[in-house]
Structure formats: structure tokens, C-alpha cells
Amino acid sequence: MLTFEGQKIQGSPNIVAKLTSLPFQQCQHSITTVDCQPSGPAGGMLVFVSGNLQLAGEQHALKFSQMFHLIPTTQGSFYVLNDIFRLNYA
């Protein structure tokens, strides 16, 4: 599940469609903070990130916050179960 600027999108195909439909081709992330917490007995992690996005051709960076929930797999990797993304307008 992805919540992108308040829009709820569920399922991998729908999430990929949303991300590929965004109206820009390049975006540079500059991470300011990262906070992590263990989540549940299976070894999951909650991750909260804040920082700036610089879009190609734009003069000013956009501030953002993002929280995602990582769930371990039996193969030793992780997948994103939930993701919440917001631009921070000031």
C-alpha cells in the first residue's frame, strides 16, 4: 500500500503505474534525517526519512517526509509493506 500525497494506492501494479506516471523524469534526493525502529517479532523495521527533492529544471528543492514499513522475507531480504509519502509545504 502506498499513500502518495493523500492518495491511497494498493497493489504492486497500481503503485508502479502511479510512480511511472509522475510528471518528471529525474529527481535527486538529499536525505536530512533517518529514524528506524524494530517492528514486530518477525524482524520488520519502520523507517522515517525526511529531506529534499530536486527536480530537473527546478530552481528550488521540495521538502519531503516518507515513512515505510520493511518486512523480512524467508530469503533474507526485505519488501515494503506500507509506504507513506508527503511533500512538506512551508
Give the DSSP letter string of 75-87.
TS-EEEEEEEEEE
Kindly report, residue by residue over 8-25, the tens digit of the pLDDT: 999 999 999 998 898 887
Confidence grade of residue 83 (pLDDT, cut at 50, 70, 90): very high
Q: List the beta strands (DSSP E) in 1-90.
A: 2-4, 7-9, 27-39, 44-55, 62-72, 78-87
What does pTM read for this prediction? 0.85
CA–CA separation, 3 and 45 (whole Å): 18
> Could you give all domains of the chain from N- to C-terminal order, each with its CATH number?
2-87 (3.10.450.50)
